[in-house]
Structure 1
Amino acid sequence: MKAKSIFIPLLFLMFGCTSIKTSTTENTEKLSTIDFVQILNNNKEEAIFYYQKNWKVLREMALEKGYIDSFELFEMDADKDSSFEIMLITTYSSKQQYEKREEHFAEIMKLKGGLELLNDKKPNEFRKTLFSKNSVTHF
């Protein structure tokens, strides 16, 4: 009877450890790209419009097709420590999905058609990508 009472908790502990390890492994397969964007010449309205009508729409389409795992679009005020106001994150569920990102987004851009712009301003007139981080791993 003592062996049975030790065996059952030990079994739960083994399955618990396996499930924790699997969960951690799955998370580390995810990769993200992160862009830090500065709004130029007080063109906040144009920049927000651009990212909502283009960047976000493309990610929604990619999500529907299973080309990405998730995406996030953040807006914040620039401050003395950082001059970016927009942060864009696209997360891929695996290295294979990440490696096909250019091919997949080219396909989706064709489906969407042209860019939607506010006040006919081109992207380089209202935003500048300060820096990007590619292949950011999750753990």
Structure 2
Amino acid sequence: MNKIIITLTILMSISIYGQNLGPISIIDFVKIKNGNIKEAQYYYEENWKRFRIKAQNQSHINSFEFINLNNKDLKSNDFDFILITEFKDSEQLKNVEDNFQKVMKQIRPDGPSFLNNKRPSDFRESVFSFKVSTNNENLALKEEVLKIVSNIINFSKYYTSADYDALANAYCKEGVILPPGADIIKGRAAIKKRWILPEGVKVPYHKITPTEIKIIGDYAYDIGYYEGTTIRKDKSEVSFKGKYLIVWKKEDGDWKIYADAWNKIN
């Protein structure tokens, strides 16, 4: 994935003991499907942005930003748009669905407007969407969040391409993994050995979807889901999915996995 350094207007927060201490941002990463750039841009300009302008005027949201990477020389092979909606606190976020239903009825009572009659499923794919919150003392961590996102995407690429050296280097030198039903495995060499697939087995598809990332100083935690497909030696395919918790640590300007725990969802 191309390195993306973007100046975003994201105000971040940390919640302690359930208190509302500041704004919370929901960030969506979207990829255009089938070359339908005009249809996607129209949808977000005429619907997504208009709804949020109205919602902001009515104090339903704190702020928003639509970032078109295709217009900013910030190309990515993994997504084309970054959508940011900021809420002043968890209470405002909790009421978002009801508030947006009201806003949409006010602006477009007959439903969203589409170009060439193409619906969202025709022109967009949500790569993932998650909530961002960080320590109030570090409001300028927007670029750090994107570095973590980049590393999350690259992890899947390393796994599906069987690049086990790169996969091991995604972890700290003293990194640990906690596989389900197994002992703790520590250190890059041991982690690499654990990830190497048996001969004749492949994982052609692997996707990690974070639902929340929180940065606190030089550490961060990342909660979400993973999914994938395994091709066995006999050429049969089996799908898998699960949930995970990762602790990231910043080392030499980059974010590495310090601890990685996961388990499958049946």
1:131 aligns with 2:128: yes
In the aligned structure 2, how far is the partner of 1:120 from the partner of 1:70? 29
The size of the alignment, in residue pairs, is: 112
Q: Provide the residue aligned with 1:31 in structure 2.
A: 24
1:73 aligns with 2:66: yes
Percent identity over paired residues: 37
After TM superposition, the score normalised by the length of structure 1 is: 0.75
1:115 aligns with 2:112: yes
Q: Which has the larger radius of gyration?
A: 1
Q: Provide the residue aligned with 1:64 in structure 2.
A: 57
Residue among 90, 94, 99 paired with 2:89: 94
Following superposition, the deviation at residue 110 of structure 1 comes to 1.4
Equivalent position amino acid for 1:117 in 2: F
Query: Residue 34 of structure 2: SS of its match in structure 1?
Result: coil
List structure 1 segments (4+ residues) > 2 angstroms apart after TM superposition.
none
For 1:5-39, what per-residue CA distance to the aligned partner results, in whole angstroms no more than 9, with x for missing partners? xxxxxxxxxxxxxxxxxxx89x9510011100000
In the aligned structure 2, how far is the partner of 1:28 from the partner of 1:48? 34
Unaligned runs of 5+ in 2: 1-12, 15-19, 137-266
After TM superposition, the score normalised by the length of structure 2 is: 0.40
Following superposition, the deviation at residue 108 of structure 1 comes to 0.9
Superposed, which structure 2 residues align to 1:44-63 within 5 Å? 44-63=37-56
Greater RCO, CA 8 A, separation 6+: 1
Write 1 or 2 for the structure with the bigger share of strand.
2
Write 1 or 2 for the structure with the bigger share of helix.
1
Q: Provide the residue aligned with 1:8 in structure 2.
A: none
Query: Residue 116 of structure 1: SS of its match in structure 2?
Result: coil
Q: Is the 8 A contact 1:36 1:85 kept in 2?
A: yes
Q: Is the 8 A contact 1:28 1:137 kept in 2?
A: no
For 1:65-92, what per-residue CA distance to the aligned partner results, in whole angstroms no more than 9, with x for missing partners? 001110000011443xx41000000001
Query: Residue 119 of structure 1: SS of its match in structure 2?
Result: coil
1:85 aligns with 2:84: no
Unaligned runs of 5+ in 1: 1-23
Query: Residue 55 of structure 2: SS of its match in structure 1?
Result: helix
RMSD: 1.9
Following superposition, the deviation at residue 107 of structure 1 comes to 1.1
For 1:38-76, what per-residue CA distance to the aligned partner results, in whole angstroms no more than 9, with x for missing partners? 000010010000000000000000001001110000011
Q: Is the 8 A contact 1:29 1:137 kept in 2?
A: no
In the aligned structure 2, how far is the partner of 1:130 from the partner of 1:48? 17
